[in-house]
Amino acid sequence: MSDEIQEKNDKLHFFRLPRELRDKIYDYALYEPEGLFYWQYEDGTANFTRHSSELHAANQLKYTSRQFRQETCGIEIKINKLIFQSHTLRNSKYVATPPAQQFMEFLDMCSESTLQSLRRVHLDHVGFVEEGIESGSAAFLEYMHHVHEVEAFCQVYPSVTVFWQIFPLALESLLSLGTMFGYGLRAEFPVAELCSSLKLEPLWGSASICHNLWHGFEAPPCHLPKHKCDSYVRADNFRILPSLYAADKTLVRNEAWTKMWDWEGRLPDDIFQRRIAKIKDWLANGF
């Protein structure tokens, strides 16, 4: 029996399986623990790959037969974390745009059922906050339009969590500066409660910078229906996430120990544990 005939017979046997079982097999075959990486092309098409440097689309099953295409098309988008990042162009056919812009253009290509099925999205913006604070908001304003568009999407689709991933706020100052950044980001952020619970001294100078960067921006009109952008982040499913590459246990412990000592120069164990927990929470779930 030729390989071609054998392959055809295998497909026929597979499609005799119950559809529920086939769907479970598809989910297993197309799931990627690290997520899928988005690539955009000059001709307006795009695909998701299994690795950030891979060329081929993650779902290769849809190219093997018409029925596989019908049954698997779009599954990989619904079951995986989707990662949009700033790419170094490998050749001229790839388009380099900010991750948030890539995401908004991807949404324009999605059906309503696909939008409803999205669950977790990462927008990897390296240097987003650091450059914005240090340069007097120039870098911040460059991305602000996309921030409001993405946050508006999160309000309309609460089932998806979007992580706006930034280069770490320097882990040695994550607690102190992160508290001030959260205060400037959201209308209701428990800054006083956090400072009291973690024994932090508020850095009001940094708070003013963060607050002015966010609230001093005139929000652009949103293109999403029945939504009006404002200067506050109201969607809890829109999260600012410090870079996961900073989640080193030793650095986390050093951060909790060395920042903001009490007046005796000793940190009580319960405060230490609270700081550890808060740092881990921010690194995992964002602000």
CB 143 within 8 A of CB 131: no
Same domain, 172 and 74: no
- Residue 175 confidence (pLDDT): 77
Residue 201 and residue 68 in one domain: no
| Sheet with 46-49, edge to edge strand ranges | 46-49, 36-40, 82-85, 120-125, 161-166, 238-242
Does 119 fall in a domain?
A: no
Residue 118 within any structural domain of the chain: no
- Mean of all residue pLDDT scores within the chain: 74
Regarding whether 137 and 91 lie in a shared domain, the answer is no
pTM here is: 0.75
Comparing C-alpha atoms, which of 163, 183, 165 is closest to residue 175? 183
Largest CA-CA distance found in the chain, in angstroms, rounded = 83
241 in a structural domain = yes
Say whether both 44 and 172 belong to one domain: no
- Is 116 part of any domain? no
Q: Considering the domain boundaries, does residue 113 fall inside one?
A: no
What is the number of other CB atoms lying within 10 angstroms of the CB of residue 275? 24
155 and 277, same domain (yes or no) = yes
Q: Which residue has the higher pLDDT, 83 or 145?
A: 83
Total number of domains in the chain:
2
Q: Which among 138, 78, 139, 83 is positioned nearest to 114, based on CA atoms?
A: 78
Q: At what angle do helices 191-198 and 269-285 cross, to 10 degrees?
A: 140
C-alpha angle 280-286-287 in degrees, rounded to nearest 5: 110
Task: Please choose, from the candidates 133, 203, 199, the residue with its C-alpha nearest in 3D space to the C-alpha of residue 166.
Answer: 133
19: which 2 tokens?
């559809």
| Statement to judge: residues 218 and 95 lie in one domain | no
What's the DSSP call for residue 261? -
Q: What is the pLDDT of residue 144?
A: 66
User: Residue 172: pLDDT band by 50, 70, 90 thresholds?
Assistant: low
Can you read off the two tokens belonging to residue 180?
């001030």
Q: Do residues 74 and 48 lie in contact, with contact meaning Cβ atoms separated by under 8 Å? A: no
Is 189 a domain residue?
yes
Q: Report if residue 77 sits inside a domain.
A: yes
- pLDDT tens-place string over residues 190-230: 888 888 888 877 776 666 666 665 655 544 445 544 444 45
Domain encompassing residue 237:
127-287
